[in-house]
């Protein structure tokens, strides 16, 4: 029977970063297993039939304020510096998202737009992001009018489509996130570091995993595979409910379907991402060439349709954060605590939490420092 120090289930960021740390810093043997036929988890990118580099599980844009995360990943990739911009179609007009002063000028007559800007700046500091739900509770009737407009045309339709729920059925951590940005900065993110790996995410993961102490096995279920090998400890980055045979019932997720179209030339649309909050069944269209910088030749877009998650049929994408699901997750967390000497749980599926890529890298680096290095 093959012997390893570690069995790591899942070759996304969580599993791959920990495999790299253990292999390179502790000189221990790692078996990394993923049930898919590729590495990189949901950040996986590949060339489609037309030769265009596309993202299989939705468009991924790297952004972070963490110098530590940036420097860590920079060991494995060069970058293409990239500022993401998003427009939403509101009453037939294309307006910058997050909704900002330029958006206000776009949808309202000039005098009214100026009035809104002044009112906002009387109350809040320039450059701040004010959650739409906070504005809705304002007493000033003009600000309320503005908030009602944004709520109706930008927020409500998109949120209902995305989650299949009314906004008030969702946790504030989701709904509260959507801001009005008191600025003319049309970039979607404001982080210190914003970029796409120069040769793509999968190429970056190949570098992360390029170590003689790491053995990679694809197309295998990690839990089943654990029975065939001998190992000292497991790191599990899959769904926590599946690990415990769904004993408290499955944790609900929202899923997505991507429909791809390829065109003979770039561009199909005028920004990387266009949102459709109020029309059609899809939420957004992304054109990958903006992200990759491959502007010549054919161009592929992804049209994104939110879907109910059906285990075994489609993929779990977004945990649905509400009180009931959080309670159920806690039951699984208690089970995880009972086996903590044998298994470390982390990642978006094991923590039942939406993480951006930088957050999940930071979580993996921290886990290495506090739970693995200290045990040595």
- Residues at the contact surface with ligand FAD, assessed by CB under 6 A: 9-15, 33-36, 41-43, 57-58, 60-62, 221-223, 237-238, 256, 317, 347-349, 355-358, 360
Residue with smaller CB distance to ligand FAD, 125 or 245: 245
Q: Which is nearer to ligand FAD, 17 or 146 (CB)?
A: 17
**Between residues 43 and 86, which has the closer beta carbon with respect to ligand FAD?**
43
CB of 64 to ligand FAD, least distance (A): 8
Q: Which is nearer to ligand FAD, 12 or 157 (CB)?
A: 12
How are beta strands 299-308 and 253-263 bridged, if at all?
antiparallel
Q: How far is the CB of 142 from ligand FAD (least distance, A)?
A: 35
Query: Rounded distance, CA 114 to CA 232, Å?
Result: 65
Q: How far is the CB of 121 from ligand FAD (least distance, A)?
A: 30
Min separation Cβ 39 and ligand FAD, Å: 8
Closest approach, Cβ 58 to ligand FAD, in A, equals 3
Decide: helix, strand or coil at residue 191. coil
Nearest CB to ligand FAD, comparing residues 101 and 236: 236
Cα(109)–Cα(82) distance, integer angstroms: 33
DSSP string, 159-179: HHHHHSS-GGGS-HHHHTT-E
Nearest partner of 337 among 371, 362, 311, 289, judged by Cα: 371
Only one residue has tokens 């949901």, namely 42
* Sequence-separated (6 or more) residues with CB below 8 Å from residue 212: 23
Comparing CB distances to ligand FAD, the nearer of 19 and 104 is: 19
Q: Which is nearer to ligand FAD, 137 or 173 (CB)?
A: 173
**In the complex, what is the shortest distance from the CB of residue 313 to ligand FAD, in angstroms, rounded to a whole number?**
15
Cβ distance to ligand FAD smaller for residue 153 or 352: 352
Helix (H/G/I), strand (E/B), else coil: 305: strand
Candidates 1, 7, 4, 16; CA nearest to 235 is 7
Rounded to a whole number of angstroms, the minimum distance from the CB of residue 354 to ligand FAD is 7
Cβ pair 119, 143 in contact under 8 A:
yes
DSSP β-ladder status, 179-181 and 129-131 = antiparallel
- Closest distance between ligand FAD and the C-beta of residue 240, in Å? 10
In angstroms, the CA 251 to CA 319 distance is 8
Give the sheet arrangement for strand 179-181, strand by strand: 99-100, 179-181, 129-131
């Amino acid at each position: 029977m093959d012997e390893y120090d570690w069995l790591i289930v899942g070759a996304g960021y969580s599993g791959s970063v920990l495999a790299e740390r253990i292999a390179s810093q502790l000189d221990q043997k790692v078996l990394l297993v993923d049930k898919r036929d590729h590495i990189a988890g949901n950040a996986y990118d590949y060339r489609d039939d037309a030769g265009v580099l596309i993202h299989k599980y939705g468009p991924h844009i790297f952004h972070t304020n963490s110098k530590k995360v940036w420097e860590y990943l920079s060991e494995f990739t060069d970058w293409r510096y990239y500022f993401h911009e998003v427009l939403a179609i509101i009453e037939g007009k294309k307006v910058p998202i997050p909704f900002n002063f330029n958006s206000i000028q776009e949808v309202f007559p000039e005098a009214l737009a100026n009035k809104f800007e002044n009112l906002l700046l009387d109350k809040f500091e320039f450059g701040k992001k004010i959650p739409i739900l906070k504005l809705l509770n304002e007493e000033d009737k003009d600000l309320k009018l503005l908030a009602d407009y944004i709520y109706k045309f930008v927020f409500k339709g998109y949120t209902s489509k995305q989650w299949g729920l009314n906004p008030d059925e969702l946790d504030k951590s989701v709904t509260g996130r959507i801001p009005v940005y008191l600025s003319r900065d049309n970039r979607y993110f404001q982080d210190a570091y914003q970029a796409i790996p120069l040769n793509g995410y999968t190429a970056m993961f190949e570098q992360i995993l390029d170590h003689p102490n790491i053995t990679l096995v694809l197309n295998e279920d990690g839990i089943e595979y654990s029975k065939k090998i001998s190992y000292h400890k497991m790191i599990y980055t899959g769904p926590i409910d599946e690990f415990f045979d769904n004993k408290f019932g499955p944790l609900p997720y929202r899923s997505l379907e991507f429909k791809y179209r390829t065109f003979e030339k770039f561009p199909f649309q005028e920004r990387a991402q266009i949102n459709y909050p109020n029309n059609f069944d899809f939420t957004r269209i992304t054109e990958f060439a903006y992200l990759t910088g491959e502007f010549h030749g054919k161009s592929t877009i992804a049209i994104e349709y939110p879907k109910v998650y059906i285990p075994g049929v489609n993929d779990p994408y977004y945990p649905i954060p509400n009180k009931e699901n959080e309670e159920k997750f806690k039951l699984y967390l208690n089970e995880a605590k009972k086996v903590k000497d044998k298994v470390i749980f982390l990642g978006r599926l094991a923590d039942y939490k939406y993480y951006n890529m930088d957050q999940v890298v930071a979580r993996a680096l921290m886990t290495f420092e506090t739970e693995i290095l200290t045990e040595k």
